Amino acid sequence: MIKRVLVANRGEIAIRILRGCREMGLSTVAVYSEADAEAPHRAAADQAVCIGPPPSSESYLNITKLIGAAKHTGADAIHPGYGFLAENAAFAQAVIDAGLIFIGPTPAAIESMGDKTNARRMAVAAGVPVVPADEAPPTEPAALTAAAGKVGYPLLIKAAAGGGGKGMRIVRQAVHLIEAFAAAGREALSAFGDGRVFLERYVERPRHVEVQILADHHGNVVHLGERECSIQRRHQKIIEETPSPAVSPAIRRAMTDAALAIARAVNYRNAGTVEFLLAPDDSFYFLEVNTRLQVEHPITELVTGIDLVQAQLRIAQGEPLWLRQEDIVARGHAIECRICAEDPAQQFFPSPGTITRLREPRGPGVRVDSGVAEGFTVPIFYDPMLAKLAVWGETREAARRRMITALRDYVILGCTTAIPFLIDVLEHTAFSEGATQTHFIAEHFPKWENPQRHRHIAAIAAAIEAQRAKQPSAAGTSGPHQVATPWQTLGHWRVGEA
């Protein structure tokens, strides 16, 4: 039985996993880089170990330091979260070799699914359709150009070792192939320590649909339905929902059968996700298996009522699956928005900074998985995701309206985020009609500017602050209920006077 868990991650996912452990009565160990000494995830554990300097390669990706921290604190299990070393077979093996439990699949499954070309071969063997591709394209320009021609344009260049949009490029014309290939390789090397990339035919206007699976150590595998993650920018998901508005019961049956077949083919254990492209003609193609917890796992938790982190822990300690497929029933609809330090008006450039005001939405059916706190300076070394906002509603429309209300209530000042953009996406007719596909943003928001609905009211707020800063004894909050409000936290404000 697991007694003490080290979480080899940071931010919201570290906090979410640590909370799951605490609820199960387990003691907890956080790790942090020197840039994260004041990070909220560090304070969320019973113990915390510094694992090195800010760059991930010297801290969150440092296997020796992580195993050392587990040994030093007496942890008997390690949860990798997502990203960083979550899909690194060598790390999983090192954990096992150190006599600890790795909360995830076997190194063999990680390795076999982590190599995208091998994953494709296994999918084909399992009878699951895949998109045309070249799994090991030559790097010599002329040969590469020829190989790309065989796959067919438009094509996608993807990292062999990674996921999440890093090391990924779309190429629509042969003339851009060489530069894109090199850039993708560089990004892949930097993100995953493995610069290999492969080519794949690009399916036009597809939906990104994935199936969540859970498998135990005794050969039992179940699925928890699908998630649609079509709303993407920079090839990375920004809004996810479940169920998919495009998945009929027949598609769901075929897709979840395919996911289970692949899971069984690799003797999969623990939580995993099988990703598919769903084409407008309802055909679907296997993309890859993510051998870890997904960023967007909360929406599956919201509709199924199954705690995926606690399921991972129970499976990792050898417990046979307590869920039969027929026990798993999705109820209602859930949507997640990723809240990142990025500027949607500037091509989603990262926008790190110090969070000077933070007010998270709340209320029935609203869940915030946050990795930040007021006063926290978002380090520039890591992924720009600050938090995830997930909502549940009885229907897709109820969830959509709840999400809009929650986004309007969400206050983050100090870091630019996509909150106003997300509201516009959710309010777009194409979204409310369920007409989502991976080009949604490029198609409906080729250019986007910050909305100015409340500009005058905002100016009035700023002007009154200016006035109060100059004449602090003036009107406003007064009487016995005078308390610290945002209006009273301000000092000098340089203004022109009448």
Partner 1 sequence: MKISLRDQHGVIELDVRADGDRYVVEIDGHTHEVRLHGEALVVDGHQHTVATARDGQARLVAIGGEVHRFEPHSGAEHTMEHVAAPEVTAPMPGKILQVLVQVGDKVAVGDGLVVLEAMKMETRLSAEAAATVREVRVAAGDMINGGQVLMVLEYGG
Cβ atoms of 293 and 282 within 8 Å: the answer is: no
Q: At what angle do helices 107-114 and 89-97 cross, to 10 degrees?
A: 170
Q: Tell me: does residue 173 bind partner 1 (CB under 8 A).
A: no
Element (H, E) at 400: helix 396-409
- Site for a copy of itself, residues 448 to 477, rule: CB under 8 A: 477
H-assigned helices in 248-336? 249-265, 297-304, 308-316
Residue closer to partner 1 by CB (options 334, 415) is 415
Q: Tell me: does residue 452 bind partner 1 (CB under 8 A).
A: yes
Cβ atoms of 106 and 267 within 8 Å: the answer is: yes
Q: At what angle do helices 308-316 and 11-23 cross, to 10 degrees?
A: 60
Residue closer to a copy of itself by CB (options 331, 470) is 331
Residue closer to a copy of itself by CB (options 115, 301) is 301
Residue closer to a copy of itself by CB (options 40, 80) is 40
Mention every residue, 6+ apart, whose C-beta is less than 8 A from residue 269. Answer: 104, 105, 106, 109, 215, 216, 217, 315
Q: Tell me: does residue 371 bind a copy of itself (CB under 8 A).
A: no
Out of 42, 208, 227, 237, the only residue in the binding site for partner 1 (CB under 8 A) is 42
Out of 4, 367, 388, 396, the only residue in the binding site for a copy of itself (CB under 8 A) is 367
Size of the site for a copy of itself (CB under 8 A): 46
| Least distance (Å) between residue 101 CB and a copy of itself | 21
Residue closer to partner 1 by CB (options 233, 314) is 233
Out of 159, 306, 339, 386, the only residue in the binding site for a copy of itself (CB under 8 A) is 306
484 binds, among a copy of itself, partner 1, none (CB under 5 to 8 A by kind): a copy of itself
- At residue 170, the 3 state secondary structure works out as strand
Which x/- pattern, by CB under 8 A, does the window 70-89 give for a copy of itself? --------------------
443 binds, among a copy of itself, partner 1, none (CB under 5 to 8 A by kind): none
Residue closer to partner 1 by CB (options 248, 356) is 356
- The residue whose two tokens read 């999983």 is 92
Q: Which residues pair with 242 in a beta bridge?
A: 334
Q: Tell me: does residue 24 bind partner 1 (CB under 8 A).
A: no
Which x/- pattern, by CB under 8 A, does the window 35-74 give for a copy of itself? x-xx------------------------------------
Cβ atoms of 133 and 200 within 8 Å: the answer is: yes
- At residue 214, the 3 state secondary structure works out as strand
Which phi-psi region, left, alpha or beta, contains residue 71 (left: φ > 0; alpha: ψ -120 to 50)?
A: alpha
Judged by CB under 8 A, the stretch of 17-25, 245-253, 312-320, 430-438 that binds a copy of itself is: 17-25
- Site for partner 1, residues 327 to 386, rule: CB under 8 A: 341, 343, 346-347, 349-352, 356-357, 359, 373, 376, 380-384
70 binds, among partner 1, a copy of itself, none (CB under 5 to 8 A by kind): none
Residue 351: C-alpha distances to residues 165, 344, 359, 413 (Å): 19, 10, 19, 12
Q: Tell me: does residue 156 bind partner 1 (CB under 8 A).
A: no
Residue closer to partner 1 by CB (options 442, 490) is 490
Q: Tell me: does residue 170 bind partner 1 (CB under 8 A).
A: no
265 CB burial (10 A radius; 0-12, 13-18, 19+): middle
Which x/- pattern, by CB under 8 A, does the window 414-453 give for a copy of itself? ----------------------------------------
Burial 4-27 (b: 16+ CB within 10 A, else e): bbbbbbbbbbbbbbbebbeeeebb
Our measurement of the distance from residue 191's CA atom to the centroid of its chain's CA atoms, rounded to an integer in Å, reads 15
Q: What is the rounded distance in angstroms from the CA atom of residue 265 to the CA atom of residue 8?
A: 28
Q: What is the rounded distance in angstroms from the CA atom of residue 362 to the CA atom of residue 390?
A: 10
458 binds, among partner 1, a copy of itself, none (CB under 5 to 8 A by kind): partner 1
- At residue 209, the 3 state secondary structure works out as strand
Q: Tell me: does residue 332 bind a copy of itself (CB under 8 A).
A: yes
Our measurement of the distance from residue 9's CA atom to the centroid of its chain's CA atoms, rounded to an integer in Å, reads 13
Nearest to 67, CA basis, from 95, 107, 96: 95
| Least distance (Å) between residue 11 CB and partner 1 | 12
Annotated catalytic residues are 292
Out of 301, 336, 383, 424, the only residue in the binding site for a copy of itself (CB under 8 A) is 301
Judged by CB under 8 A, the stretch of 175-183, 235-243, 301-309, 422-430 that binds a copy of itself is: 301-309
Count the alpha carbons within 13 Å of 73 in the hemisphere toward its beta carbon: 26
237 binds, among a copy of itself, partner 1, none (CB under 5 to 8 A by kind): none
Out of 2, 13, 39, 262, the only residue in the binding site for partner 1 (CB under 8 A) is 39
Q: What is the rounded distance in angstroms from the CA atom of residue 344 to the CA atom of residue 414?
A: 15
AA identity, residue 135: E
Residues in contact with a copy of itself by the rule CB under 8 A: 16, 19-20, 22-25, 35, 37-38, 298, 301, 305-307, 310, 331-332, 354, 360, 362-365, 367-370, 374-377, 392, 394, 398, 401-402, 405, 477, 479-485
